[in-house]
Amino acid sequence: MKRNSEFIRHFRKHKLAVISLVIVILEIIGVIVLPAALNLDPNSIDGAAFNQAPGTAHLLGTDEVGRDIFSRVISGGGISILIGFLATAVSVAVGLPLGLIAGYYKGKIETLIMRLADIFMSFPAMVLILVFVAVFGSSVPIIILLIGILNWPAVGKLIYSNVLSVRSKEYVEAEYAIGTGDRKILFETILPNSIAPLWATLAFRISNAMITESALSFLGAGVQPPQASWGNIIQAATSLIVLTKRWWIWIPAGLCLVVTIVCINFVGEGIRDALDPKMKRL
């Protein structure tokens, strides 16, 4: 409890992080609650309002086929945020145990896991995702799995280096000396003392996953219409007419994406500084 209260106290000192956390929470509540509360349908077409500018009937206007931009931005935000969080969860689910095992047992299993991580990191993730999307399709679950699995080496290497550091501590050596089992040492001593830096980077990994999804969707290889995401809404800006004369089609989604990424990164900085105040930027 004392440790938690210290974390909260340090986190609250980072004003931008606190404000950003509030914004992110409000966004998450909004994308969950608003579609049902306002009966929003991102695929509903208004046949009398093609490319209509923002007004009373359509708060953020409509696109080229008459779909309400506000509804699509809210729905697309839910998909983009969901992909960011779940893809990060997949990365942690794969990278955490592999990094833990490699750092603890060393030897051949360490070499195998670390060389596998190097192989994953040697290929451009975006290129690999595009190849897999071409083979398996681009549904939301597939995109989540691809982004998550291809980003596990960063998590694995972070945990691996922390485990190596903790493994050499005197209190761990003492547990070896008294005959404590590997399972207990691994999960009750080494893991709790190795995982803090991972928490500090999770926010950055979420934002990175969201950027990757948006880039894929912008390229037409991510979330496929008519399902909305911020990335495929912004894709409309590839048309010069839309880019220059129909700003309402792409700017709202672009602003939401930028604000969300910036806020998540500020939250990540706040968590990092709260976990280790010595790392705080001057």
Residue 1: what pLDDT? 58
Percent of the chain at pLDDT > 70 equals 96
Q: What is the pLDDT of residues 98-151, one digit of tens each?
A: 999 998 887 889 999 999 999 888 888 888 888 888 888 888 999 999 999 999
Q: Region 246-272: what's the mean pLDDT? A: 93
Within 10 angstroms of residue 112's Cβ, the number of other Cβ atoms is: 13
Yes or no: say if 279 and 19 are a contact pair by the CB < 8 Å rule: no
42: preceding bond cis by omega (within 30 degrees)? no
How confident is the prediction for the chain on average, in pLDDT?
88
Residue 18: what pLDDT? 94
> In the predicted model, is pLDDT for residue 89 greater than 90?
yes
> In the predicted model, is pLDDT for residue 245 greater than 50?
yes
Q: What is the pLDDT of residues 171-213, one digit of tens each?
A: 777 877 787 777 888 888 888 888 888 888 899 999 999 999 9
Would you put residue 225 in left (φ > 0), alpha (ψ -120 to 50) or beta? beta
Query: All domains of the chain, ordered by start, with CATH?
Result: 2-279 (1.10.3720.10)
Give how far Cα 114 sits from Cα of 120, 242, 280, Å. 10, 47, 30
Residue 230: what pLDDT? 93
User: For residues 90 and 46, which has the higher predicted lDDT (pLDDT)?
Assistant: 90
> Predicted confidence band at 19 (pLDDT cuts at 50, 70, 90)?
very high
> Predicted confidence band at 70 (pLDDT cuts at 50, 70, 90)?
very high
Of 278, 281, 282, 269, nearest to 11 by C-alpha is: 269
